[in-house]
């Protein structure tokens, strides 16, 4: 009987206070995980969703003379962006530039990432600093450095001429070659860092066990390391591809008037031509093409991974 009275004591005390007993397992409407993610949702809404909605609304406005846009709404800006051969050519060149930059960054970055993930040398910290050092310098400074190296009278051409290997300088800038070289340098750390994190999570004893069972280094890499490091490859390639599509400073400085990308074209429409609706429509077309390319890449790489397993 005392046990029953003890169990009923909290409820009786609550009733004497005039308050209702709380039911276990239920939370109030003001509590829960929603309030934990509310600040992040506000930031995303203010700095991502609202600007995109503004761009979408701007792209549906007609162009006007002496004003950013006219009254009413129209789809003429999208028809112009998708029906103009010049714009489509620039869009194709931009996508091709991204497709070219990504595999070069992957081929150069994977061995570096693997070495950083596996090294036990005291120089490992210095290697990390060397990889991260380009991120500590602005993209304008890095692009200007490549301009000095690749120009007609730059360091590379002057060295080759002084050594007697060339009589005239090579055309290393104001073309796709110079832009690609600079973009690889600018975005290579964004390929290396995701790979380092994923490769570090792979247990080295798995590779040692595979080697002890007679597998060659190439087979261990192809059947073990590569599939397990694929999340880092996907993250790095998508990141470099998206950044390449949106690059503006490097194509302007090293491409000049010979290399046009969609980012350069959008800025020209927004600032030089004062055609905000046309520039907004072109920016959204570039974003849509980039998202489609990323989706196709994810689908194709998913099938490739299934083939390796």
**For each successive 10 residues of the chain (309 residues), what is the average pLDDT?**
46 51 52 80 91 91 83 90 93 95 96 91 84 88 92 89 86 91 94 94 90 88 89 94 94 89 92 89 94 91 69
Q: What is the pLDDT of residue 67?
A: 80
Query: Residue 173 in contact with residue 150, Cβ under 8 Å?
Result: yes
Whole-number pLDDT of residue 245: 95
- pLDDT, one tens digit per residue, over 159-169 is 988 888 888 88
Instruction: Give the pLDDT confidence score for residue 1 in this predicted structure.
Output: 43
Q: What is the DSSP string of 136-150?
A: GS-HHHHHHHHHHHH
Distances in whole angstroms, Cα of residue 124 to Cα of each of 116, 121, 183, 191: 7, 6, 25, 18
Compute CA distances 161 → 6, 48, 141, 149, 158, whole Å: 97, 51, 26, 14, 5
pTM, to two decimals: 0.83
Instruction: Give yes or no for a contact between 188 and 109, defined as CB atoms under 8 angstroms apart.
Output: yes
Task: Name 205's Cβ contacts closer than 8 Å, sequence gap at least 6.
Answer: none
Q: What is the pLDDT of residue 3?
A: 45
């Amino acid at each position: 009987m005392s046990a029953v009275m003890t169990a009923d004591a909290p409820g009786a005390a609550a009733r004497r206070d005039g308050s209702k007993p709380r039911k276990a397992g239920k939370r109030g409407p003001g509590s829960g995980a929603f309030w934990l993610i509310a600040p992040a949702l506000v930031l995303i809404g203010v700095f991502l969703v609202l600007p995109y909605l503004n761009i979408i609304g701007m792209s549906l406005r007609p162009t006007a003379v002496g004003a950013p846009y006219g009254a009413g709404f129209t789809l003429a800006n999208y028809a112009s962006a998708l029906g103009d051969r010049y714009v489509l050519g620039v869009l194709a060149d931009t996508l091709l530039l991204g497709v070219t930059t990504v595999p070069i960054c992957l081929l150069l970055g994977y061995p570096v990432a693997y070495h950083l993930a596996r090294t036990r040398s005291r120089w490992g910290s210095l290697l990390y600093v060397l990889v991260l050092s380009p991120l500590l310098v602005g993209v304008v400074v890095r692009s200007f450095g490549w301009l000095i190296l690749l120009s007609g009278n730059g360091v590379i051409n002057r060295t080759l001429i002084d050594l007697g290997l060339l009589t005239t300088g090579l055309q290393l800038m104001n073309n796709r070659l110079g832009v690609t070289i600079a973009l690889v340098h600018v975005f290579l750390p964004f390929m290396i860092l995701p790979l380092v994190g994923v490769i570090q999570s792979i247990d080295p004893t798995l590779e040692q066990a595979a080697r002890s069972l007679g597998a060659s280094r190439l087979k261990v890499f192809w059947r073990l390391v590569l599939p397990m490091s694929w999340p880092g490859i996907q993250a790095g390639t998508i990141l470099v591809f998206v950044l390449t599509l949106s690059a503006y400073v490097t194509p302007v400085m090293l491409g000049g008037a010979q290399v046009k990308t969609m980012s350069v074209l959008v800025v020209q429409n927004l600032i030089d031509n004062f055609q905000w609706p046309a520039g907004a429509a072109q920016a959204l077309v570039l974003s849509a093409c980039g998202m489609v390319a990323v989706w196709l890449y994810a689908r194709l790489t998913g099938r490739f991974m299934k083939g390796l397993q």
